[in-house]
C-alpha cells in the first residue's frame, strides 16, 4: 500500500470499548487502519486460560467494521506458528517485574507475536492500551532495540461506569465476583486520593490497597507495586509521578489494573 500510512491495533479479540478506543485512535493517526485478532498461544503459560479464552469472531468483525477498521487480520494458529516454529524474542529487564514474576514466559510470547505481526502488517503506527502498562513499556523497548520503524502510541484505560477496567476476561466473573473486582479500581482511586492529600510513603499506600482488596470475597493478590514508570523498579517515596500497578485473582480470573500517582504540585518552589 505505497503512499499510504498504516495504523495497526493488535488484539486477542472478544472486543470491548477498550479495543474500540485504540481503533479510534488508530483511525486518526493514519490513512489505513489494520487490526488483528489472534489468541496467541505463546503468551499463555501452562494451566492458563488459552482454551477458555472468549472468542466471538462474527461479532468482532461487525464491531471492527463499525470502528472503521479497513483490514481485519485473523490468522490461524498454524499460519503464525507452523510445525517446528522455533524463534522467540526475549528482553533482559522489564519482563522481570510485575506480571513477569508469576508469568515468566508471557512477555516472550507477547514480543514474539507483536514482532511477527509488525513484519506482516508493516505499520507506521501501532496502538496499545495503558491497561497493559508493562506490555506497552516492553513493546516500546523492543521496537527501539530491534529498529522497527514504527511509532508506538499508548491509549488510556477505558473503564466500565463503575470503575472496573474493561477486559475480555471480565466475562469469566460471576455477579458476585464482578462486585469484588471493583476493589481493584477502588484501591487505585484511594491511593490517588491519599497522594493528592499528602501521603508520600509507598509502603503505607500499598498496605491500604492490600486491605481494600483482601476485604472483599474471593480475591487473592498477585502483586500491588508502586514503581518507576520507566524502569518499573519499586520506589519507596512518591516524590514524582509514579506507577501503581496491581494484579489480583478474583476467583480463578486474574485481573490487572494500574494508574499514575502524582504528588500535588509544590507551588512554593
The set of catalytic residues is 19
Least distance (Å) between residue 78 CB and ligand AMP: 20
**128 touches ligand AMP by CB under 6 A:** yes
Show the site string, 76-115: x = touches ligand AMP by CB under 6 A, - = not.
----------------------------------------
Q: What are phi and psi of 107, to 5 degrees?
A: -75, -25
**184 touches ligand AMP by CB under 6 A:** no
Least distance (Å) between residue 3 CB and ligand AMP: 27
Least distance (Å) between residue 12 CB and ligand AMP: 4
Least distance (Å) between residue 237 CB and ligand AMP: 29
Given candidates 168, 170, 185, 194, which one binds ligand AMP under the rule CB under 6 A?
Answer: 168
Q: Is the separation of the CB atoms in 199 and 238 below 8 Å?
A: yes
**26 touches ligand AMP by CB under 6 A:** no
SS3 label, residue 216: coil
Task: Rank residues 18 and 235 by Cβ distance to ligand AMP and give the closer one.
Answer: 18
Segment near ligand AMP (CB under 6 A); pick from 11-19, 76-84, 112-120, 192-200: 11-19
SS3 label, residue 239: coil
Task: Rank residues 58 and 269 by Cβ distance to ligand AMP and give the closer one.
Answer: 58
Count other Cβ atoms within 10 Å, centred on residue 133: 25
Where are any strands of DSSP class E within 38-80? 71-73
Count other Cβ atoms within 10 Å, centred on residue 110: 25
Segment near ligand AMP (CB under 6 A); pick from 28-36, 125-133, 192-200, 241-249: 125-133
Given candidates 23, 42, 111, 157, which one binds ligand AMP under the rule CB under 6 A?
Answer: 157
Task: Report the alpha-carbon angle 183-155-33, nearest 5.
Answer: 135
Task: Rank residues 157 and 202 by Cβ distance to ligand AMP and give the closer one.
Answer: 157
Q: Is the separation of the CB atoms in 17 and 158 below 8 Å?
A: yes
Sign of CA dihedral 210, 48, 82, 90: positive
CA–CA gap between residue 154 and residue 139 (Å, rounded) = 11
| Grid cell at residue 204 | 503505607
**167 touches ligand AMP by CB under 6 A:** yes
**166 touches ligand AMP by CB under 6 A:** yes
Given candidates 72, 165, 213, 243, which one binds ligand AMP under the rule CB under 6 A?
Answer: 165
Q: Is the separation of the CB atoms in 223 and 246 below 8 Å?
A: yes
DSSP 8-class letter at 184: H
**116 touches ligand AMP by CB under 6 A:** no
Sign of CA dihedral 192, 193, 199, 204: negative
Which residues sit opposite 261 in a β-bridge? 242
Which positions lie near ligand AMP, rule CB under 6 A?
A: 11-12, 18-19, 21-22, 128-129, 131-132, 155, 157-158, 165-168
Amino acid at each position: 500500500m505505497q503512499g499510504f500510512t498504516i495504523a495497526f491495533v493488535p488484539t486477542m479479540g472478544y472486543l470491548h470499548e477498550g479495543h474500540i478506543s485504540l481503533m479510534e485512535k488508530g483511525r486518526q493517526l493514519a490513512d489505513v487502519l489494520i487490526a488483528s485478532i489472534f489468541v496467541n498461544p505463546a503468551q499463555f503459560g501452562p494451566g492458563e486460560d488459552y482454551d477458555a479464552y472468549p472468542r466471538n469472531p462474527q461479532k468482532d468483525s461487525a464491531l471492527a467494521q463499525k470502528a472503521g477498521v479497513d483490514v481485519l487480520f485473523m490468522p490461524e494458529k498454524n499460519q503464525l506458528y507452523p510445525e517446528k516454529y522455533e524463534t522467540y524474542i526475549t528482553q533482559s529487564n522489564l519482563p522481570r517485574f510485575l506480571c513477569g514474576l508469576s508469568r515468566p514466559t508471557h512477555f516472550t510470547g507477547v514480543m514474539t507475536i507483536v514482532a511477527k505481526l509488525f513484519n506482516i502488517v508493516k505499520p507506521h503506527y501501532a496502538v496499545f492500551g495503558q491497561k497493559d502498562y508493562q506490555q506497552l513499556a516492553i513493546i516500546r523497548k523492543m521496537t527501539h532495540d530491534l529498529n522497527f520503524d514504527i511509532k508506538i502510541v499508548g491509549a488510556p484505560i477505558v473503564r466500565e461506569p463503575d470503575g472496573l477496567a474493561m477486559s475480555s476476561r471480565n466475562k469469566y466473573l460471576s455477579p458476585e465476583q464482578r462486585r469484588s473486582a471493583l476493589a481493584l479500581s477502588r484501591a487505585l482511586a484511594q491511593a490517588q486520593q491519599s497522594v493528592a492529600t499528602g501521603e508520600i510513603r509507598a509502603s503505607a499506600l500499598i498496605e491500604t490497597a492490600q486491605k481494600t482488596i483482601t476485604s472483599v470475597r474471593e480475591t487473592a493478590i498477585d502483586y500491588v507495586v508502586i514503581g518507576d514508570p520507566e524502569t518499573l523498579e519499586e520506589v519507596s517515596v512518591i516524590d514524582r509521578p509514579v506507577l501503581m500497578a496491581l494484579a489480583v485473582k478474583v476467583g480463578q480470573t486474574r485481573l490487572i489494573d494500574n494508574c499514575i500517582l502524582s504528588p500535588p504540585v509544590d507551588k512554593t518552589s
